[in-house]
Amino acid sequence: MQALTSNSFHFKGQTKVYNGKVRDVYTLENGLLVMVASDRISAFDHILPKGIPFKGQVLNQVATLFLDATKDIVPNWLIATPDPSVAIGHACEPIRIEMVIRGYLAGHSAREYKAGKRVLCGVALPEGLKENDRLPAPIITPATKAEEGHDEDISREDILARGLVAPEIYAQMEAYTHALFERGTQMAAARGLILVDTKYEFGLRNGEVILIDEIHTPDSSRYFYADGYEERQAKGEPQKQLSKEFVRQWLIENGFQGLEGQQMPNMPDEFVQTISDRYIELFERITGQDFQKAATSDIVARIEQNVNAYLEKL
């Protein structure tokens, strides 16, 4: 099985390309974007050395499902998915703030809490919480969207004081974030999952706030299994989850957290297969559908053929 880790596509009307940690975004002269979800995987703001077969397909198809399921809440950038790993949509001016929303004390927030912090991004946290406890109410903990290096936590007050976004735009982003998280929570619950935390990114198109990028995927979100959650919490046991957190934990156990001087560990093929299986498991669990593996004998040729065939029809 091949994995798509790098590419240099040339699509009809292409004017520029941006290579992100996971996605490669091609801008077309007609105001459209072609977003290719690669099989790269990142953690602690570093790209891991091996690609994960079918990861890009999972991300693209899960994001498509949730973008379609939430367009009654907020307009989004997506127009079409001509290939299992590709989405095409409107180019927007990105707002460089990640709207992170948390319903539980997990991951980064749990690590900060364990270190003694009781205020996260300007939001006060109560005493006495344990890792993976449900929060009294979902909280928004924004992060600045860095071009390179680490994203950084930031408070609502600092965002507005620094003029990073207009107050009325930020208020709209907050309202959309809460509504999207509520919808995602309901959809996850219907599939026996808990949406623990996630992030949303927004942009502007003709002055309107638009939802961009992916939503509710295992790269942008954390899910717990609902069955047994309470019992595991009562016993102080780790939660069974579907997310990238197990990759982060593996890296931590192997001496890597993205800090200066640390060396990225080698990834055994068995671990790569485990990651691929976990992504496919989340797809099937969250969608209720069987995952149909796309052909991987020549992923680049497949994508070029499918995308260019779609663009020819425009």
Distance CA 175, CA 97 (A): 15
Task: Give the per-residue pLDDT at 206.
Answer: 95
What does the domain layout of the chain look like in residue ranges? 14-93+270-313, 94-246
- pTM of full prediction above 0.75: yes
Task: Give the per-residue pLDDT at 150.
Answer: 62
Strand partners, 28: 14
Give me Rg for the CA atoms of the chain.
19
CATH of domain 94-246: 3.30.470.20
Task: Give the per-residue pLDDT at 27.
Answer: 95
* Tokens encoding 44: 């602690």
Task: Using alpha carbons, select from 166, 226, 231 the residue that is nearest to residue 202.
Answer: 166
Distance CA 288, CA 286 (A): 6
Task: Give the per-residue pLDDT at 244.
Answer: 82
Distance CA 209, CA 166 (A): 12
- Write the pLDDT tens digit of every residue in 202-255: 999 999 999 999 999 988 999 999 999 999 999 999 999 887 888 989 999 999
The second-level CATH assignment, the architecture, of 14-93+270-313 is: 2-Layer Sandwich (3.30)
Strand partners, 93: 204
Is residue 194 within 8 Å of residue 226, measured between CB atoms?
yes
CA quadruple 151, 156, 161, 164: dihedral positive or negative? positive
Task: Give the per-residue pLDDT at 20.
Answer: 87
Task: Give the per-residue pLDDT at 282.
Answer: 85
Task: Give the per-residue pLDDT at 314.
Answer: 87
Strand partners, 262: none
Distance CA 178, CA 182 (A): 6
Task: Using alpha carbons, select from 59, 65, 105 the residue that is nearest to residue 85.
Answer: 59
Ordered per-residue pLDDT tens for the chain, 314 residues:
789 998 889 898 999 999 988 999 999 999 999 999 999 999 988 999 999 999 999 999 999 999 999 999 999 999 999 999 999 999 999 999 999 999 999 999 999 999 999 999 999 999 999 999 999 999 999 999 766 556 799 999 999 999 999 999 999 999 999 999 999 999 999 999 999 999 999 999 999 999 999 999 988 999 999 999 999 999 999 999 887 888 989 999 999 999 999 999 999 999 999 999 989 988 999 999 999 999 999 999 999 999 999 999 98
3-class DSSP state of 160: helix
Task: Give the per-residue pLDDT at 245.
Answer: 80
Task: Give the per-residue pLDDT at 304.
Answer: 95
Report DSSP letters for 255-282, one per residue.
T-SS-TT--PPP--HHHHHHHHHHHHHH
Task: Using alpha carbons, select from 267, 247, 214 the residue that is nearest to residue 62.
Answer: 214
